[in-house]
């Protein structure tokens, strides 16, 4: 296995931080606004995915959408169907996308919530805070200035490339007693890999350990 694969596997996927799964995280497009309010009041999340009869995502409804409907139509809005107040055809993320990818989209589009699918099937709604927390857990390693500073103090012999084998990291950890390894590509720091990353990799049930070449 190449170091480039370790870097990719290390990134936290949005499906891993998703808390608002199925359950009360969605309504049918014919659901009344009053029923949606009842569901939202029971949740920490302020949005619901809207599905059609085939369970396909057709919209998302937020507190802001409902407040806007109430402001415009008064209490009559409570008897409206959700499809009259929802945001249609919302941006959807796949559970395998990284928190960084999803967070960039949410910030760029000013989304507070986003429906998540797995294999095309709706599995829940993620909040900006959840995605941000997932990314924050990697922030230390993602800080460009810090990584550049670390690379300046690392022995060049301890700097590897994405195409090097994972076994070379093990040698540095065990024989050279280094706490982390700098990975560079085209003279730029691409990642910092720690022993914790390798332990997490080895403990993953999805990894074929025979390809790691670590003995």
Are the C-beta atoms of 33 and 85 separated by less than 8 Å?
Answer: yes
In the chain, which ranges are continuous DSSP H helix?
3-10, 14-17, 33-41, 63-73, 99-109, 128-136, 139-142, 144-153, 166-175, 195-203
The mean pLDDT value for 206-213 works out to 47
Evaluate if pTM is beyond 0.75.
no
What would the mean pLDDT of 130-146 be, rounded to a whole number?
60
Is residue 97 within 8 Å of residue 13, measured between CB atoms? yes
| Statement: residue 81 has pLDDT above 90 | yes
**At CA 86, angle to CA 80 and CA 91, rounded to 5?**
165
pLDDT of residue 42: 84
Indicate the range of 70-79, 80-89, 188-197 predicted with least confidence: 188-197
> Would you state the pLDDT for residue 154?
61
pLDDT tens track for 90-118:
999 999 998 878 888 888 888 889 999 99
The answer on pLDDT for 166 being more than 60 is yes
Q: Of 6-10, 130-134, 139-143, give the lowest mean pLDDT range.
A: 139-143
**d(Cα 173, Cα 139) in Å, to the nearest integer?**
22
Q: Which of 109, 116, 57 is nearest to 88 (CA)?
A: 57
Please give the pLDDT value at position 109: 87
């Amino acid at each position: 296995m190449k170091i480039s694969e370790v870097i990719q596997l290390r990134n936290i996927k949005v499906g891993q931080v998703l808390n608002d799964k199925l359950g009360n995280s969605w309504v049918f497009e014919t659901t009344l606004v009053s029923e949606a309010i009842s569901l939202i009041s029971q949740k920490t999340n302020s949005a619901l995915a809207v599905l059609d009869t085939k369970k396909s995502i057709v919209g998302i409804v937020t507190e802001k959408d409902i407040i806007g409907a109430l402001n415009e139509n008064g209490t009559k809005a409570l008897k409206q169907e959700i499809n009259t107040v929802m945001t249609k055809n919302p941006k959807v993320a796949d559970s395998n996308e990284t928190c960084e990818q999803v967070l960039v989209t949410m910030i760029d589009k000013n989304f507070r919530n986003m429906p998540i699918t797995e294999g095309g099937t709706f599995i829940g709604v993620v909040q900006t805070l959840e995605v941000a927390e997932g990314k924050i857990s990697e922030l230390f390693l993602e800080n460009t200035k810090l990584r550049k500073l670390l690379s300046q103090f690392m022995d060049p012999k301890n700097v590897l490339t994405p195409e090097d084998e994972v076994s070379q990291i093990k040698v540095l950890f065990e024989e050279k007693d280094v706490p982390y390894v700098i990975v560079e590509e085209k003279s730029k720091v691409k990642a910092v890999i720690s022993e914790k990353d390798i332990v997490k990799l080895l403990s993953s049930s999805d990894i074929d350990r025979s390809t790691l070449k670590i003995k």
